[in-house]
Amino acid sequence: MIGPNLKGQRLVALFLLGCLLFNFPLLSLFAGTGRIWGIPLIYFYVFAAWISIIALMALIIERKDP
């Protein structure tokens, strides 16, 4: 492994979180017609969740401590 195994486990956990976020039924919670900053709810949710996942990935990978 590249580094300590804990990183790998964190990433797998993140993967599972992503599977949850980008699927029914959580997705259906945002199926409404609402707007956030003028952006349709579902678009806002998916993109926000997406960038959060990427940010967490970066955090996990770039963190120096094990």
Partner 1 sequence: MLSGALIVALSFAYVGLLFAIAYYGDKRADAGRSIIANPYIYTLSLAVYCTSWTFYGSVGRAATSGIGFLPIYLGPTLMAALWWYVLLKMIRISKAHRITSIADFIGSRYGKSHLLGGLVTIIAVLGIVPYIALQLKAISASFSTMLQYPGVVASGSTASLPFLQDNTFYIAMLLAAFTILFGTRHLDATERHEGLVAAIAFESVVKLVAFIAVGIFVTYGMFDGFGDVFAKAAAVPELNALLVQGGAAGNYTTWASLTVLSMLAIILLPRQFQVAVVENVNERHLNKAIWLFPLYLFAINIFVLPIALGGLMHFPVGTVDADTFVLTLPMSEQKTWLALLAFVGGLSAATGMVIVETIALSTMVCNDLVMPILLRWKFLRLTESPDLSGLLLGIRRSAIVVVLVLGYGYFYLAGEAYALVSIGLISFTAVAQFAPAMIGGLFWKGGTRLGALCGLSAGFMVWLYSLLLPSFAKSGWLPITFLTDGIMGFDLLKPQQLFGLDGLDEISHCLFWSMIVNVGSYVGVSLWRRPTAAEHSQANLFVDVFRHVSPGSGSRFWRGSATVADLQTLLGRFIGPERANESFSAYARSQGIAGIEQVSANAVLVHYVESQIAGAIGSASARDMVASVVVEEPLALDEVMAIIDEASQALAYSRQLEEKSRELEAATNELRGANQRLQELDRLKDDFISTVTHELRTPLTSIRAFSEILSDNPQLDPQQRSKFLGIITRESERLTRLINQVLDLSKIESGAADWHPSEVDMREVLEDAVAAVSQIYKDRNIALELGIPQHPPLVMADRDRITQVALNLLSNAANFCDKPDSRVSITLMAETTALRVEVEDNGIGISPADQAVIFEKFRQVSDTAAGKPRGSGLGLAISREIIHHFGGRLWVESVPGHGAKFSFTLPLPRGGTSFLAA
How many C-beta atoms lie closer than 10 Å to residue 64's C-beta? Answer: 4
Is residue 48 part of the contact set for partner 1 (CB under 8 A)? no
String marking each residue 2-41 x if it binds partner 1 according to CB under 8 A: xx---xx--xx-xx--xx--xxx--xx-xxxx-x-xxxxx
Interface pick for partner 1 out of 4, 53, 64, 66 (rule CB under 8 A): 53
Q: How far is the CB of 12 from partner 1 (least distance, A)?
A: 7
Q: For 7-35, give the DSSP string.
A: HHHHHHHHHHHHHHHTSTTGGGGG-SS-E
